[in-house]
Amino acid sequence: MAQNNTHRAFGRAVTPVGTAGRALRGTGGAAVLGTVVIGSALLAGPAQAAPAASPAAPAASAVAAAPAPAHAKSAVASEKLRWGSEGTAVDQLQSTLNEHGASLSVDGKFGKLTHGAVKDFQRSQDLQVDGVVGPKTQAALSGSDASASTGGTSASAPASSTSSSGQAIVDAARSQIGASYSWGTSKPGVSFDCSGLSSYAYAQAGIDLPRTSSQQVSAGTTISKSEAQPGDLVVWPGHLGIYAGGDTIIDAGRTPGAVTERTIWGSPTFVTFR
Please give the pLDDT value at position 213: 95
Q: Work out the average pLDDT over 170-182.
A: 96
Decide yes or no: CATH 3.90.1720.10 for domain 157-272.
yes
Question: What pLDDT is stored for residue 76 in this prediction?
Answer: 54
pLDDT in tens, 100-151: 999 999 999 998 899 889 988 988 998 888 888 989 999 999 886 544 433 4
Break the chain into its structural domains and give their ranges.
Answer: 75-150, 157-272
Is 75-150 a domain of CATH 3.30.450.40?
A: no
Q: Check whether 68 has a pLDDT greater than 50.
A: no
Three-state SS sequence of the chain: CCCCCCCCCCCCCCCCCCCCCCCEECHHHCEEECCEEECHHHHCHHHCCHHHHCCHHHHHHHHHHCCHHHHHHCCCCCCCECCCCECHHHHHHHHHHHHCCCCCCCCCECCHHHHHHHHHHHHHCCCCCCCCECHHHHHHHCCCCCCHHHCCCCCCHHHHHHHHHHHHHHHHHHCCCCCEECCCCEECCCEECHHHHHHHHHHHCCCCCCCCHHHHHHHCEEECHHHCCCCCEEEECCEEEEEEECCEEEEEECCCCEEEEEECCCCCEEEECC
Q: Give the range among 62-71, 140-149, 195-204 with minimum mean pLDDT.
A: 62-71
- Give the model's pLDDT for residue 54: 45
